[in-house]
Structure 1
Amino acid sequence: MLVNWQYLFLIHLLAFVIQKGETSERDVVTHIFENYDKRIRPVRNDSQATLVKIGMNIISVLDVNEQQEYIKLAVSFDNGWHDDFLTWDPAKFNGTTSIIVPADLIWTPDVTVTSTVLDTEYIVEKKDLNPEIKFTGDVRLNFAYVLSNRCEMKTDNFPFDSQECVFVMSSWSFATNRIVLEHIGGQRRIQNLNAEWDVFPYTNETTDYYLEPENPRRRIIYRMKIKRKSSYYVWVIIAPTFIISALSIAGMFAPFNSTGDREEKVSLGLTTLLTLAVILSLVTGEMPRSTNLPLLGRFVLFEISICVVSVALSICTMFLHQRATTRQWAVPRWLLYIVQCKRSDRINDGPEIKLPKSGLDSNRKCSEWLKKDAENIASVCFEQFSQVIADIKQLLVENKEAEDRKTLWLLVFDRIDLTLFFVFQTVHIIYFSVTFAFDFQS
């Protein structure tokens, strides 16, 4: 029976302790909010400024809009300040050292991001926030929202560009004689915040600015650096454009056959220009609009320009080659010297076509056949035969000279094509190396 009374006593004692613990926090709220006015800055001495400590943490970078020059990201802010009227003695309230109450019950500083002119969306509505209050009067409030902040975009080096975005935290209403802002460190480690951009840890500085000459205001400036991930543009746009242009240059200045036909080269050049025009249309959709042409745009325009010049020179070479062979132009010596070609031997030094030394056999055949005027008829036959042989020889000489001239022109234009190939390919590679060497290393 005694044991049962002991158990009953312990149960009542435990219930009393639990009830006491449950009512202690409620008693604290009743005590500290009895004469509390959230409309007034919580200091007992009006000449004393309220120190508001602020820390910023980047949750995720949602969007970077280069055309409209703004960045959209999710951030959280840790705010802390001291409220002189929210204090109590834990010994009087069952050792309660902290409470959590709705934010709309207490005074909160009107500190916000003043550098944005776009909409700001709270992840948790401000009226639903619950700050923590310590018995010493220290208040800590965490809130997060989606911030769209103006960010001046410098895209001259696109797609290897880096951007620096500035966020300014300040009080809308209070000068430094009433509210002083101070940054607290300890930002979280930043990683995998965006698929297109690398986000680096921000830096901060605290400065004063003046809206009124006698009342400076305190602000905290956060500078966040982001760098574009350029791998997509390198492998999808830059590398294919360079390879297509290099192959086009090689195709336009290389002989397709031994006859020197060049129509296929012009067709190849025009096809390459069409391909580069399609690539440029893709690049235009990716490039930000700015007063200066970005690096990628300059590169694609250079590739188009070098292909245009290549096609133009190929057309000029085709025109001159056709005129030189059809008009039977002689190859100038200075051109032979420039292209380092040797003139081939003329056909006059070739095998000699010998004529009969005498017309005895012909005269005999003619005399036997005609049986009269043998000597006169033989002489006529001999002269006609000699003239035919001379005409044939002259025709062979002219054909040989024309063929040699055509072959020599073909060699000359082959040397010209080879020279243009090395010149254009060298310029192409040098421009590519100078333009992207530093960016690839970085």
Structure 2
Amino acid sequence: MNFYDFKFVFYLAISWCNLLEVDGITVAEQLKDVLMEGYDSSIRPVNNERDILIINISMNTMSVLTLDPAEETINFSSEFILQWKDEFLFWNKSDYNITWLKLKESFLWTPDTTVSTSIDTNYLIDASERYVSVKHDGTVRQSIYAVFTNLCDMNVDKFPYDQQTCMIKMGPWSYTTQEVTCIVGRDIAPNDTDFGDFHGNSEWDFEGIVSSVGETEDPDVNFTFSEVHFALTVKRRPQFYVWVLLIPTYIITVVCIFGLFTPTANHGLREERVNLGITTLLSSAVILQIVANAMPKTSELPLLGNFILAEIFVVAIGVLFAVLVLTLHQRAHTREWRPPAWMLWILRMTGSSKFLSRNITKIRHKSSTAERIHYTGEGAYLFKNLDESLQSVREYIQEEDRDYFRELTYVKFFDRLDFLLLFIFQVGNALVTLFLVKQ
């Protein structure tokens, strides 16, 4: 083709466009006028009234905004794509050179679809301003983008390692299965970038969407309605709750156990141990209240709540044992209490039994005639009294030495008892933590 032939074709194309665009009317406007002539947007677009209109509903994007376990709701933004065949809208593509035509949603018949599990819907674009795409063969494609607040049954037994599945139900509100039937698109796996944009938030990871078709019934009029079900699965990221609640609770309990059963403390400091235990109980109760406020009021506590409650019981039992040891230590000093033999054997203190024998309550003078010295002569009475006084002083010093060694032995005894209880409670606390956290 030479230059003149090309110029002729160019002017011919311009002339053809000028014929189609008369008085500012474009080809698209002419096509719209032809399609809308006699079109009734309130009539279901089928030639035979007995035909069933099939609507394909799929989810194109999904963003999890918030999930409230206490209210058992999930807030997400999503775009739903609806596609059906309008038998009243078709044209010859070669006549207009248009494959897809954009028309306002209010001009056409659209199914009155709604998310039945949603308690609040905020459409980002008003219905009067939304457009639909119409293909030359009558295929209509509608996009619905909104923020939904959806009901979601929560199972928080394994909180904060829980995984939630929320059911999203969508379908026509007025048309029965004899008029409109829904079909659904494919399932959506995590990180499925080929199909759309799906992701969670800072607390929840998107785990996928399983799509299915369901039906609901109206028993009053025996009507059945078709709908699609989207089972959205999200998994909680537990790091925040582990670092903010779980680990501090465990550390508080460990420190409290060390404070309750420190072997170096004597009986004069044991009253402060009880105060430490009560303060720790109050701290754990506050943490348990934080967890309870964030969870639904179910019949069972979540995993983290069970862990905190177990730590409270560990501290409470530790306080009771601290009170018991305080009582025994006080009794040993005031009532000359002798520990049973089995306790001495457990604490490996059988060699100290001679210091734990019953004490003498008063000074006894030796009256054996074999040991008594007979003084004669001048001053015998004076020497006799002096000898008895020295004997009494000697027995008193021996008794004081014996009491001193008894006190040292009791300190050693209760130190070992504290160490044994410290070991038992720390091991028990670690086992409780591992058992609950690994479930």
TM-score between both structures, scaled by the size of structure 1: 0.85
1:316-355 aligned at under 5 Å gives the runs 316-344=324-352
For 1:332 and 1:98, locate their aligned partners in 2 and report how far apart those are by CA, in whole Å.
Answer: 96
1:206-245 aligned at under 5 Å gives the runs 206-211=213-218, 215-245=223-253
Answer with 10-19 or 382-391: which moved more. 10-19
Contact residue 257 and residue 315 of structure 2 kept, 8 A: yes
Aligned partner of 2:307 in structure 1 is: 299
Q: Quick one: which amino acid aligns to residue 74 of structure 1?
A: S
Q: Quick one: which amino acid aligns to residue 385 of structure 2?
A: Q
How far did 1:346 drift? Answer: 5.4
Q: Quick one: which amino acid aligns to residue 158 of structure 1?
A: F
For 1:7 and 1:231, locate their aligned partners in 2 and report how far apart those are by CA, in whole Å.
Answer: 71
Matched, 1:42 2:54: no
Aligned partner of 1:370 in structure 2 is: none
How far did 1:57 drift? Answer: 3.2
1:258-337 aligned at under 5 Å gives the runs 261-337=269-345
1:30-429 aligned at under 5 Å gives the runs 30-93=33-96, 95-116=97-118, 118-185=119-186, 188=195, 192-211=199-218, 215-257=223-265, 261-344=269-352, 376-429=377-430
For each residue in 1:207-244, what CA deviation from the matched residue of structure 2 results, as whole angstroms up to 9, or x when unmatched?
A: 33432586533221111111211100101110011011
For 1:308 and 1:167, locate their aligned partners in 2 and report how far apart those are by CA, in whole Å.
Answer: 45
Residues 346 and 9 from structure 1, CA distance in 2 versus in 1: closer, same or farther, beyond 3 angstroms? closer
* Structural RMSD (CA): 2.9
Q: Quick one: which amino acid aligns to residue 105 of structure 1?
A: F
For each residue in 1:117-151, what CA deviation from the matched residue of structure 2 results, as whole angstroms up to 9, or x when unmatched?
A: x1211111122111111111111111111111111
Contact residue 64 and residue 71 of structure 1 kept, 8 A: yes
Residues 105 and 266 from structure 1, CA distance in 2 versus in 1: closer, same or farther, beyond 3 angstroms? same
Q: SS of the residue aligned with 1:329?
A: coil
1:15-30 aligned at under 5 Å gives the runs 16-17=16-17, 20=20, 23-30=26-33
Q: Quick one: which amino acid aligns to residue 89 of structure 2?
A: L
Q: Quick one: which amino acid aligns to residue 398 of structure 1?
A: E
How far did 1:322 drift? Answer: 1.2
TM-score between both structures, scaled by the size of structure 2: 0.85
Answer with 156-165 or 253-262: which moved more. 253-262
Q: Quick one: which amino acid aligns to residue 41 of structure 2?
A: K
For 1:396 and 1:263, locate their aligned partners in 2 and report how far apart those are by CA, in whole Å.
Answer: 32
Contact residue 81 and residue 138 of structure 1 kept, 8 A: yes
Q: Quick one: which amino acid aligns to residue 101 of structure 2?
A: I
Q: Quick one: which amino acid aligns to residue 194 of structure 1?
A: N
For each residue in 1:17-55, what CA deviation from the matched residue of structure 2 results, as whole angstroms up to 9, or x when unmatched?
A: 266376221221111111211111111111211111111
How far did 1:272 drift? Answer: 2.3
For 1:227 and 1:261, locate their aligned partners in 2 and report how far apart those are by CA, in whole Å.
Answer: 49
Question: How many corresponding residue pairs?
Answer: 412
Q: SS of the residue aligned with 1:180?
A: strand
How far did 1:341 drift? Answer: 0.7
Contact residue 267 and residue 330 of structure 2 kept, 8 A: no
For each residue in 1:394-427, what CA deviation from the matched residue of structure 2 results, as whole angstroms up to 9, or x when unmatched?
A: 1022112222222222222222212211221122
Answer with 293-302 or 228-237: which moved more. 293-302
Aligned partner of 2:191 in structure 1 is: none
Q: Which blocks of at least 5 consecutive residues in structure 2 are unaligned?
A: 189-194, 358-370
Residues 358 and 28 from structure 1, CA distance in 2 versus in 1: closer, same or farther, beyond 3 angstroms? closer
How far did 1:12 drift? Answer: 8.1
How far did 1:276 drift? Answer: 2.3
Answer with 51-60 or 325-334: which moved more. 325-334
Q: Which blocks of at least 5 consecutive residues in structure 1 are unaligned?
A: 349-356, 364-374
Aligned partner of 1:352 in structure 2 is: none
Contact residue 58 and residue 185 of structure 2 kept, 8 A: yes
For 2:329 and 2:372, locate their aligned partners in 1 and report how far apart those are by CA, in whole Å.
Answer: 47
For 1:331 and 1:230, locate their aligned partners in 2 and report how far apart those are by CA, in whole Å.
Answer: 49
How far did 1:80 drift? Answer: 0.6
Q: Whose Rg is larger?
A: 1
How far did 1:305 drift? Answer: 1.9
